[in-house]
Amino acid sequence: MDSLREKIGFPYTQMPTDFMTYGVGGLADTASLCGAINGAAAAMTLVLGKDDWKKIVKELVNWYTKTPFPSDISNQYAKDHKFLVEKYKSDKVFVSSVSRSTLCHVSVTKWCKASGYASGSDERSERCGRLTADVAAQAVVLLNQFADKNFKAVTASPASAECVPCHSLGKDYKLGQYTRGEEDCVLCHTPHEIKK
């Protein structure tokens, strides 16, 4: 939002952002939806039309679940003190991990197990700051692709493409319409579970 205020001005100078503080710690510290995704999605809805924001946000979610965080770029920025922050919790280069989920607690748990740092450590906090920078950068990439008419959504995984026709939002329970979602099914479920 700060960038939109600086680069574009009105109407972004008139929009409050304090209401977004609920997103801290994965929605009021519940470690649910990652705040980086939540914040980026909120900003995207402000700059895109009502028929466009969903496909861009869906692509950001898809990218998030498959991307190693923190990225090599954000690790290097931190090491070189190129992030525009006064105080780093750590300027070490961290190991990266892929969350395979949009949930904060899954993302943090996988990274803590990969890195050996505890969830309450300064290093974990710094890692999430770097992840947020990575997500913001990708949001800008997607928005620019859309503005340049170069945006192409990645197709669903073969497993998801097989699951979604039956297991989706619908009114017939017997056909499998008792769930909904568009994330890659095999991120959480094994193919064996999906076939049950």
Of 147, 166, 184, the residue at which a domain comes to its end is 147
Residues 23 and 115 in one domain: yes
| Position 190 confidence tier, pLDDT thresholds 50, 70, 90 | low
Residues 109 and 49 in one domain: yes
Q: Are 33 and 20 in contact (CB under 8 A)?
A: no
pTM: 0.85
* pLDDT for 119: 96
Q: How many domains does the chain have?
A: 2
Q: How far apart are CA 133 and CA 65, in angstroms?
A: 16
Q: How far apart are CA 137 and CA 134, in angstroms?
A: 5
Residues 32 and 123 in one domain: yes
Residues 9 and 89 in one domain: yes
Range of the domain at 126: 2-147
Residues 85 and 133 in one domain: yes
Residues 165 and 143 in one domain: no
* pLDDT for 192: 54
- Strand-pairing partners, residue 98, are 68
Residues 111 and 28 in one domain: yes
Least confident of 46-50, 62-66, 126-130, 163-167: 163-167
Chain mean position to CA 22: 16
Q: Per residue in 31-44, pLDDT tens?
A: 889 999 999 999 99
